[in-house]
Amino acid sequence: MPSGPQTPVRPGASGFEIEEPQDDPRLLRGVQTGTQRKVTLVALADAGTPEADALKRELDLLAQVRDRHVVEVLGTHVQGGKLWCAMEAVDGEDLATQLREGHRFTTEEILHIGECLARGLGAASYHGFLHHDLRPAHVMILDDGQVKVANFGPLARRRALANEATPSPATVAYLSPEEGSGQPLDIRANIYSVGAILYELATQRPPFEGYDSSTSLLYQLLHVDPLGPRQLGSSIPKELERTILRCLSKAPVDRYSQPSELLEALRQSRDSISSTKVSAIRNQEDDTGDFDIFEDQPLGEGGMGTLLRGRQRSLDRAVAIKVIREAFHTHPEFLQRFRREGELLAQVENANVVQIIGTGIWHGRVFYAMELVKGEDLAARQMRGHRSTPEEILHIAEGVASALRAAWRYKIIHRDIKPSNIMITQEGTIKVADFGLAKSLRLPGAESRVMAGTPEYLSPEQGLGQKADIRADIYSLGVVLYELAAGRHPFKETQSSVAMIYQHVHTEPPPLEQLDPKCPPALRGLIHRCLQKDPDARFENPDELLKAIRAARKNMDLPPTSKRMIPAAAPAPSPRKLLVPLLALLLLPCGFVAWQILKSRPMEPTESDRAYELAMGLGNPALAMKIAEASKGRDSREYREAERRERNLRLRPLEERACERVAARDWTGAADAYGTLQSQVDPERRKEISAALRLCDSLKAAAEKEAKADWAGALEIYLRLQSQGAPVRDVLEESIRRVRSRMDPSAPR
C-alpha cells in the first residue's frame, strides 16, 4: 500500500484519514484515526440516496463480524458525493492469482484453506450474512499463510443469470445449482462454493469447464455430477475427496448443513489421514506403479529413509527410490512429513532441484521415486581433499541459489542446506537434494516439534526456535561457502549440538582473509553477508543473492559461467619445428641447472592450468581435454588423464545398462551391452568385460535352449557354469531346479 510523506493525507469526519486518490478512482487508501490501521475504501453508491442509506445500514451490521478469517469492515465514509466502505487492508494475494500462476496445492494446504473458509463463513452466517459471490478472487492468502474471505454482503453481488445469453465460466464455475435455477438460498449455497474452490485446488480445474453451447455449462451445473478429483490425477486422500464431493451435491439437503459441520468433516479428514495411515499402509498390497525397486542396490541413507536404485519401466531409465524407514511407520507425524516432502518437491520444477517422479507402496512401506543424479555430493568431494577454487565456489553458490529461488516461489524453505545435500552431476550441474525437512510457509503453525536441520549448518533463528524463512537457507548456504573457501568450518568443532548452536547465535567466525589471504574480496563480502546473525542484514531473498553472485563474478574479472573455461585457440605449427630437437640438445645442460633451481618451489599455475583443474573438478573431462590439447598437446599427462576420465564417463551409462539387464535376467540385453563395452574400455579392463560377456552369452544360449524345450542342453550349460564358480549362484541353482523339474515332473522343485 502506498505510504510515506510523498502521499498527502486528508483527515475525514468519519474516523479515517484519506490519502489523495491514486490510479483507480474507485479505490481510496488511508488509515483509521483511532487505531492507525491501514484501510482500503471502495465506492458503492451515490451518497444521500435511499440505496446509500440501505447500504450503510447493512454495512454497519457487517462491521459487527469480527473473525480473523474475514476481511473486516471498519465503517463507511462519504467523499466526493459517494458512499465508501472502509475495510482492513491486507498484505497478500488472492487465490485466483495463485491458480493462474500454476501453483499446485498440497493436501495440507487444501485442508488449511477449507478450514479457514468454513470458519469465516460460520462467523458471517452467525450475523445473518451470506457471501453472494464466493470464488477464488475473493479469498485472500496473506503473507503469513492466514486465509481471509473478502466481500461479504453488499460488497459482492452476483449478476442474475436470467438475462445472460452466454454465462461466463467465472460467473458459473462456483455457483450452486439452486442459484443457477433461481431458488431461495441459504448457507448451503456457500458450502457448495467452498466445495468448488477446494475441487479446483486439488485438480487445477473447476468441477465443470468448457461448453459447446450457451446453456451447456448451466446444464452440467444442474444435472451432471463432477468426476472425483482422484480420477483426474489428484493425490488427495479418499477422505478429503468424499468431503469435497459432498459439498458439491446437487440437492442442498445432501450437503453439510452448516459451516461448523463442514469444519468438523475437514478435521476428521485430517485426523483420519494421520491415524489410519499406518494401518492402511500395512494392510495395503504393494503398489509400485511404474517402478521396479532393486533391494540389493542401496544408494545411501537419509534422515527419514533408505535410498535404493530403481527403474522407471515406461521410460526404461534408472531412478532413485526413497523408502521411509520402518521405525517411522509407527509415527503418523513422520509419515505426514514424508508425504508432504513428496508433495512439496513435486511443485518445484528446476534444473537445480532433484525432481520427484512418483510415489507408491513397497513391502508395506511408502516410497517416492526421484531422478537419479549421477555425480557426487559436496561432502564426498571434501572428504577426498578437494579444495574448491573461487570460480567453483561461485558456481556452486549460483546453483543452490537458483534452487532456493525456485522453491521460494512456492514459499518453500529447505531448512537443511549442507554439503551432503548439494550434488554435482557429471556435467557440472548443481542440484539440491533431500527436502525432507522442507516447510511451506503458506501453512502457519506447521512447524514440527522436533528441531529441523543439522547443527553445523543451522541458522541462528532456527537455533533459537524462532520463525525461519528463506533467509535461514541463505545463512546455511553461507556456512557451506565459508567451508569451501577456508577449508574449515567457520566455528570450532564440538561434539555438543548445544555448543555448536551457541556459536551460530553468539560467535563471529574468523575473517576469511586471515584463513585465506588469496580469497577474492568480492567472494569474502558475499559470504560475510550470508553469515550475518540478524536475518535482516542478510540477502533478503535468492534473487538478491543471485545478483550479488553475478556482481562478484564480474568484480573478480571472471567471464560468465558458460564461457569462463574456454581456452584460446592453439597456435599453428611452426614450419621450423624440426629445429626443436636440436635446440633441446643444445640447451639440455642449461635446462638441468634450471630444473635444480626450480624443483624446490612449486610452479605458479597458469590460466590454462586453472581452467583445466576447474573443468575436471566440475566433472567435464571433454572440456578439460580441449584445454589440455591447446595448452600442452595430446601427449601430455593432463590430456591422457582427461581422455581416460571422459571415456569412463561416456561408458558409465552403458555399464549401468549392462548391470540393470543382469539384475533383470535379460541375458540378451546384457550380452549386447557388454559386447559394446568390450571394444571401448581401457585395455586393463577388457579381461573382466570379456568374462562378463562370456557368462551372459552362455546364459543367453541356455535360455534359448529352454525356449526350444532342449532341457538337457540347457542343464549342461547351467551345470558347467556352476562348476566354474560363476558369480550368479542363485540364478544357476534356480535354473537347474527349474530345468530338472521339466525333465522329471516328479522331482522336488
Just list the catalytic residues.
416
CA distance linking residue 749 with residue 742, whole number of Å: 10
Cell of 308: 535404493
Which residues, listed in sequence order, are joined to residue 85 by a DSSP beta bridge?
A: 42, 76
- The answer to whether 120 and 67 are in contact (CB under 8 A) is yes
The torsion of the CA quartet 407, 408, 414, 415, rounded to 10 degrees, works out to: 180
- Quickly count: other Cβ atoms within 10 Å of residue 496's Cβ: 9
**Sheet harboring 356-362: ordered strands across?**
291-301, 305-312, 317-324, 365-371, 356-362
- Give the CA radius of gyration of the chain: 34
Helix (H) or strand (E) holding 323: strand 317-324
User: 253 burial class (0-12, 13-18, 19+ CB within 10 angstroms)?
Assistant: exposed
**Sheet harboring 147-149: ordered strands across?**
92-94, 139-142, 147-149
CA 393 to chain centre: 23
Distances (CA, A) of 605 to 98, 610, 614, 622: 52, 7, 12, 21
Nearest to 124 by CA among 191, 80, 65: 65
The residue type found at 228 is: G
170's CB contacts (< 8 A; 6+ apart) are: 135, 137
DSSP state of 244: H
CA distance linking residue 533 with residue 530, whole number of Å: 9
| 3-state secondary structure (DSSP) of residue 459 | coil
